[in-house]
A = this chain, B = another copy of it.
Amino acid sequence: MHESGYFQKIIEEELKSIRLNSVPVELYDPIRYMLSLGGKRLRPSFVLMAAEIFSDDYMSAISPALGIEVFHNFTLLHDDIMDKAPLRRSQETVHKKWNSDVAILSGDTMFVKSCELIMQVNDAVLRPVMTLFYKTAVEVCEGQQLDMNYESENSVSIEQYISMIKLKTAALLACSLKTGALVAGATETEADHLYAFGKNIGIAFQLHDDMLDVYGDEQKFGKQIGGDILANKKTFLLLKAIETATGVNANELKRWINMKEFNPHEKITAVKEIFSSLKIREAVENKMEHFYQQAVITLDLVSVPEERKKVLREFAETLMVREA
């Protein structure tokens, strides 16, 4: 059994060998650029790790693994246009480096390429794998639309937020694991256990991300701490604070949220103090732990020798304590 780092290296290498036409350059250069920006390669690693649980021939899942990573990068590319984001992994976004027309169309092309790659599985699983992928792709679009809607909605419940991250983030992680399992010959039931594991780990993963944005180490996290606070981003932390704050805390929180001009450092400090008095960090950590435990329960249900599940189990643990 191989560690996640091993799979990450394979993915990084194999991504370079994806065959793309060379012209028109406006279509293909942005795709190569997007795929060269790096990242944790979490989703394709999940595909290969899940495949290795059921078969030593995990490389039979390499093509769908790459396809899911290309799809993920397509969603980032289009999201960046909608979010007007200038940077992605400290590099210029495609719509900034080229323009938004190029970003739309090269994104569309990436989507087609991801379908082509995911289709490279044996006939026995072609239909279930593609069906799962399209269902997931729709969910990711729905999640992104809800995320945009919530930006301008006044009252978003924690339940709505969890539903949104299930679609936007957790669904594709779950799909990655189930795809790997199916390609490696797992039964639908076994594959579904891994899917449930991925859904729960995915939610915990996103909550952890929300937490790092406030309590992370700037050096290790690689982006500015408090960005979500400055943008009034409706993360689990802010929604929980709005839900539980009363009296002075509630008034202060409202005041900072509505303030048009402020010193960024002061706002971050003030909101973190409110979070602290409301024990928001404990609340998000409890929630993370809840979904992590749910994930562990479903992993236990997968009926293969424990040693085959060990790598995925340990990897999930490291995801929960990661600092970046």
Contact = CB atoms under 8 A, between A and B. Distances in A.
Interface of A: 21, 23-24, 26-27, 78, 81-82, 100-101, 104-105, 107-109, 111-113, 115-116, 119, 123, 126-127, 130-131, 134, 137-138, 141-142, 144-146, 148-149
Contact of A127 (B111, B119, B134, B149): B119
A111 B71 CA distance: 13
Contacts of A115: 115, 130, 134
A119 B113 CA distance: 16
Closest 9 CB pairs of A and B: A24-B145, A82-B101, A112-B137, A109-B141, A27-B145, A116-B134, A112-B138, A112-B134, A115-B134
Given A21-B142, A105-B141, A123 B119 contact: no
A59 B144 CA distance: 35
Most chain B C-beta atoms within 10 Å of own C-beta, residue among A21, A81, A131: A81
Given A101-B148, A119-B130, A126-B127, A109 B138 contact: yes
Given A104-B104, A119-B134, A134-B119, A27 B142 contact: yes
A105 B78 contact: yes
A119 B118 CA distance: 14
Nearest to A137: B112
Contacts of A123: 123, 127
Contacts of A134: 112, 115-116, 119
A21 B141 CA distance: 12
Given A24-B146, A27-B142, 12 more contacts: A24-B142, A26-B145, A78-B108, A82-B105, A105-B144, A108-B141, A109-B138, A111-B111, A113-B138, A119-B130, A119-B131, A126-B126
Nearest to A134: B116
A123 to B, nearest CB: 7
A286 to B, nearest CB: 29
A115 B116 CA distance: 11
A82 B104 contact: yes
Contacts of A138: 21, 109, 112-113
A172 to B, nearest CB: 13
Contact of A141 (B78, B112, B141, B146): B112
Given A24-B145, A27-B142, A127-B119, A81 B109 contact: no
A146 B50 CA distance: 41
Given A109-B138, A116-B134, A149 B24 contact: yes
A104 B80 CA distance: 12
B104 A81 contact: yes
Interface-central residue, A107, A112, A127, A131, by most chain B CB under 10 Å: A112
Contacts of A145: 24, 26-27, 105
Contacts of A142: 21, 23-24, 27, 109
Contacts of A127: 119, 123, 126
B109 A26 contact: no
A81 B138 CA distance: 21
Contacts of A111: 108, 111
